[in-house]
Structure formats: structure tokens, C-alpha cells
Structure 1
């Protein structure tokens, strides 16, 4: 299991095991599925009811990439049974060898790029901390990943001389964000109204809410105490 790192309420206590994170408690996109046409309803509902098995990555590769995903797209505040299967979506795309519509000429195919990156990240962890990436603390995992985000891998690795690091990072972020925000539970989190067809929108002026929308209910929260951002902000 990947490491977990819980954000904290400003009033005290960890944010964890939430059925529905975000500022729209009680909002449900799926509650509106009767207003969708059949193909849309089937597609969206399956994103909740069916999770594709891991078929492209090996068990070890899946564990490491899963740990990476858990740090760049953390869901530690979510209840386990309400976690959006980001890794599964990425694996499914690569298993089917589906493209995002383009590939840079200086990048290897996506399947190769991911395998190269997984190997490089683990080698970086072994070189810097003498442990596999999956065994590192959250803080050390984030140190490795921040160095990749900044384009200054620490330590350097030969893989980043074979393919541009900034392009792989962009690929990873695109896949994570696409997997997360295509899921109805993420729509609940941000109050998204879901597919508009054939229902459409009624109130197109003056920022008036639609009948199915919920009022935002904000709450203050802080980064996890062991996160890199929290430790940097304290200095």
C-alpha cells in the first residue's frame, strides 16, 4: 500500500475517510443520470461501477507508479472505497496503446516512456536514499518528484538524457488529471453539472445557479504536516 499523508482541518484534526471531499457536500452528478441519453449514462456510470485490472504494468511497476500518482494527485482525504482509480486508467490506456492525439518527435512511445521513467525514479531513490521509491517516507518521495518537476533531477539519471524530462512530466500530469477529472466523484468534488446533453442549461445570464447545482460551502484546511510544501512554507 502506498504511503498516506493527511491534510488537516484549520480547526484541528486530519481530513481523512471522506465520502465526498470538496466544497459541495451532498452534491451528486450521478443523481442526474436520468436526464442523460443512454450512451452517456452507460459511459459515465461504468466509470464508477467498473475498474479495469492492471494489465500493462508488472506488479512492481504498478506499485511504484501508484506511489508516484499518490503524491502528484493525492487522494489521502478520500475514503478507500471512494478513491478514483487513476493508475488503472493510465494502465488501461497504455495496455490498449491508445494515444493522447500526438507524440513529440523527441519522445519515445508512451509505453516505453513510462517504463523508462519508472526505472529511473526507482534508481534515483536507491542512489539518494538507499531504498526503493515505494519504501521512502512521503517527504523523501516528494523530494525526488519535486526535483523532476523542477527539471533538475537529484540525483541525475541516464534516462533523462534519453528523453526530455519536462515532456515526460507533462505526459504524467496530463494522464493523472485526465483520469481524475473524468470521474463522476471528481465532478461531485468540484460541483460540475455533468453532461449537458440533452438537458442543456437554462440560466445563462447573471451567474444564476441551475436548479441541480449546490451552493459552495468552503472550509479552511492545511497541507499534511509531513508534506514538502508544508515544510517549505514553515521556513
Structure 2
């Protein structure tokens, strides 16, 4: 009976998030989380690790087996950052075991003060910008819905983040006087995307062949897979009905890319 009760609880917990699952574009039914979403079923980049050099293998395997602890964010900040990452790059199509710990890797970069080698003159250092941005997002959530961001529904959370994406936040103006809304959005998105696509599970999802050194690639034209890769198998899907992610809007809102500089203009 205990085993049956535990199984029932697991099923209830899984089904509680059905409204966040992506939807089958043909049947309209939610797509259950899986170990490997994407168009390359059965492909595993790590199966090729014997062909990598030792230094590469060590770095890549650490991303899977040695997840860094949270050291920069406070517990409250980490919880808020997790909720934000869950909307910016949802992983509801992944089972719990194969979700990529985005917050941990963003936290590590900020803890070690790793930067790209430049900083925009209208932005504070990255670690300060993230802290200010979290405060601003929480302030906007309470301004719009009188609740914490982490307690909002996914549509409400998307609406809060949309105001920053559109560079038109309705609150936290004292923070936006200290840094650019648009540059903060780009910083936040870059960190989320970088953390996700640096992970081997994401490589499996997009069919990436993994590190090329020292073996290299040989089929460089025509979109043909390497012998160790698999053929793409596409399927139709769309975002949940409440989410805003299926609607494209350029950064800066309908006008698009307000005051978007080219290259590293405005950096120091």
C-alpha cells in the first residue's frame, strides 16, 4: 500500500504542472516531460567522450556530475532567480532528473566575478546588476499584482518580465535610473541562454555533435549528420495557452530595439 501511495503522490505532483507543459501541435494535448526533449531521440553527446581529450572530458563531465553550490545569491534571491529562469527558458518538457541547473551556473559566474572583458558605461558590474534586477522584478510584481513574483501564475510572471523586455517597466524607477533596462534584459537573457546551452543535455536536445577536438568533423556541408549523430525527427508543438512565449516581440516592444548599439559601443 505504501508503494502504491507513493506512486500516486508522484503522479499527482507530476500532473500538478500540466498547465505548464508544452502542447502537442497536432492533438492539442500536453506533452509529458521526458528525459530527452528535442528532435534527436536517442542521441547522447556523452557517448562520444572517449574521442575527447582528457581536459575537455573533465570540463564537460563536471557540468553534469559536479553542479556548483549556490554561493552568490541569498536563499530568497536564488528562489526568485529560479522562478525567473523557469519563465525565460522553461524546462517543463524535461523530467526532474534531466533539468539543467541554470541558477547554479549563473551564480558561479557572479560569485567568481567572471566577465566578458568589458562593461557598458551605463551599467554597474554584472553581479550588482543582477541583484538590482532581482529587486526590480520583485517590485514590479508587487506593483502589478500585489504579490511576490514567485507566487504569481505563469501568465502573470510573463507579463512582469514582458515589461522589462519592452523597456517599459511600471515600477522600480529608482533602480532603472542606475542601469539601462534594455541592457539588463540582454544581460539576463545571455546568462540564462549561456548556462543552458553549455550543458550536454542541451546538446542532446539540439543534436550538437559535441567538442570537435581532437577528432574533428568531416561532413561540413549539406546538413548531413556525422556517423555518430542521428537524423532529425521533428514534431509539432506550441507553448502552453497561458504563456506569452509563442508571441514574438522584438526587444524594446513593438517599435523594436530601442537605442540598440552596435558591437561594443558604449563599453569601457
What's the offset of the Cα at 1:3? 11
What's the offset of the Cα at 1:14? 1.4
Q: Give me the whole-angstrom Cα distance separating, in 2, the residues matched to 1:158 and 1:40.
A: 45
Whether the 8 Å CA contact 1:151–1:166 is kept in 2: the answer is: yes
Whether the 8 Å CA contact 2:139–2:172 is kept in 1: the answer is: no
Q: Give me the whole-angstrom Cα distance separating, in 1, the residues matched to 2:71 and 2:246.
A: 36
Report the CA distance shift for 1:36/1:44 in structure 2 as closer, same or farther (over 3 A).
same
What's the offset of the Cα at 1:156? 5.3
Q: Give me the whole-angstrom Cα distance separating, in 2, the residues matched to 1:204 and 1:165.
A: 40
What's the offset of the Cα at 1:101? 2.3
* Secondary structure of the structure 2 residue equivalent to 1:228: coil
Choose the corresponding residue for 2:75, options 59, 70, 94. 59
Q: Give me the whole-angstrom Cα distance separating, in 2, the residues matched to 1:230 and 1:177.
A: 17
Count how many residue pairs are aligned between Structure 1 and Structure 2: 231
What's the offset of the Cα at 1:194? 0.3
* Secondary structure of the structure 2 residue equivalent to 1:115: helix
Report the CA distance shift for 1:212/1:231 in structure 2 as closer, same or farther (over 3 A).
closer
Whether the 8 Å CA contact 2:119–2:125 is kept in 1: the answer is: yes
**Residue aligning to 1:126:** 142
Whether the 8 Å CA contact 1:124–1:157 is kept in 2: the answer is: no
Q: Deviations over 1:47-95 (max 9, x none)?
A: 0111111110001111111111110111111001100111110000111
Q: Give me the whole-angstrom Cα distance separating, in 2, the residues matched to 1:19 and 1:33.
A: 20
**Residue aligning to 1:113:** 129
Choose the corresponding residue for 1:32, options 23, 26, 48. 48
Structure 1 segments of 4 or more deviating over 6 A? none
Whether the 8 Å CA contact 1:4–1:76 is kept in 2: the answer is: no
**Residue aligning to 2:10:** none
Choose the corresponding residue for 1:219, options 225, 232, 235. 235
**Residue aligning to 1:173:** 189
Give the TM-score, by structure 1 length: 0.93
What's the offset of the Cα at 1:97? 1.1
What's the offset of the Cα at 1:206? 4.0
What's the offset of the Cα at 1:128? 1.3
What's the offset of the Cα at 1:173? 0.9
**Residue aligning to 1:88:** 104
Give the TM-score, by structure 2 length: 0.82
**Residue aligning to 1:15:** 31
Which structure carries more relative contact order (alpha carbon 8 Å, separation 6+)? 1
Give the unaligned 5+ runs of structure 2. 1-16, 249-268
**Residue aligning to 1:163:** 179
* Secondary structure of the structure 2 residue equivalent to 1:178: helix
Q: Are 2:120 and 1:104 aligned?
A: yes
> Aligned Cα RMSD in Å?
1.9
Q: Give me the whole-angstrom Cα distance separating, in 2, the residues matched to 1:3 and 1:63.
A: 21
Report the CA distance shift for 1:229/1:114 in structure 2 as closer, same or farther (over 3 A).
closer
Q: Deviations over 1:10-64 (max 9, x none)?
A: 2242123210010000000000000000000111011011111111000111111
**Residue aligning to 2:6:** none
* Secondary structure of the structure 1 residue equivalent to 2:128: helix
Q: Give me the whole-angstrom Cα distance separating, in 2, the residues matched to 1:202 and 1:230.
A: 36
* Secondary structure of the structure 2 residue equivalent to 1:226: coil
